[in-house]
Amino acid sequence: MDEDVLGVDVGGTAIKTWWHGGAGPTVPTPKGDPTGERTADLLAGLAAGFPGVAAIGVATPGIVDDEAGVTRMSVNLGWQEVPVRDLLESRTGVPVALTHDVRAGAVAERLTGAGAGRPGALVFAPVGTGLALAVVDADARPIGTGWAGEVGQLRFGPGPHRGLRVEEVASAGGLALRYGAPEAAPVLAAMQAGDAVAAERWRETVDALAEVLAWTIALIAPGTVAVGGGLARAGDALLDPLRAALAERLAGFPEPVVVPAAHGTAAAAIGAAHLADVRRRSR
């Protein structure tokens, strides 16, 4: 990847940057910006602070149309049909690539993170406040359109979680809410201290996540599943039972390597930088 590309991760509260192989400045995301104009002004100003920027990659949450360069909908940002690529290219005069933050994270993990040097496609599963998945092929090309990966919005059918969205069970945020804790860490601590209710909530979360991942693995046959997000900080307390639950569901299927994601909160900005480089070279 050319070092003169700037990666930007526009989150609901903060904007992170990646430049020359390292983290750049982090600044607050503008509030009350439904047109995206003030955010584009801020990003252009950030880019001006990096000498010789040749291209910019931007990752946002929501429904993102990579091909059109438009964030179709982002609840976190309060955006509807914001033409991010056009807004930023008109301000900077350099090529801009736009993508979803989880897809960008998958690109980063495939190229230089958990999937580096491993064969096949990669599934990226950041298990945080909510849940979304992204898939990239062996060459780190994202698979699917803007709606691809929004598995957290599916609803459970008959069973104990009927009517709930998947991410209300299979996420750190859902786990904490169902246990009555402010975040997932106290649930883990309670489980490890012998709390039966915490252990049951943890098991439900792992089982729901395994169910989603098993169907994805059966469809895609990836070489690697990289698990990230806040819940991945639990380490083997999450990954060991997740691997066991997947092995049970995937009996007879080739199982991918299930590993912790490597890039943490920088993943989206790193992946966005790579996609910017791809766009620059294709023009």
Q: Given this structure, which CATH class describes domain 5-104+265-282?
A: alpha beta
How far apart, in whole angstroms, are the C-alpha atoms of residue 212 and residue 235? 19
| Three-class SS state of 80 | strand
Instruction: Determine the pLDDT at residue 133.
Output: 96
Residues of the chain where predicted confidence (pLDDT) is lower than 70: 1-2
How far apart, in whole angstroms, are the C-alpha atoms of residue 185 and residue 117? 32
Q: How far is CA 103 from CA 43, 240, 276, in A?
A: 20, 25, 13
Write the CATH number of the domain with boundaries 118-261: 3.30.420.40
Task: Give the CB-side neighbour count of residue 204, counting CA atoms within 13 A.
Answer: 23
* Secondary element (H or E) of residue 65: strand 63-65
Q: How far is CA 153 from CA 18, 31, 72, 132, 156, in A?
A: 30, 25, 16, 8, 10
Residue among 215, 213, 218, 219 at smallest CA distance from 258: 213
DSSP 256: P
Q: Which residue spans of the chain are classified as CATH 3.30.420.40?
A: 5-104+265-282, 118-261
Cβ proximity of 224 and 123 under 8 Å: yes
Residue among 268, 278, 283 at smallest CA distance from 5: 278
* Secondary element (H or E) of residue 106: helix 101-112
Instruction: Determine the pLDDT at residue 2.
Output: 60
Burial 213-240 (b: 16+ CB within 10 A, else e): bbebbeebebbbbbbbbbbbbbeeebbe
Q: Is 32 left (phi over 0), alpha (psi -120 to 50) or beta?
A: left
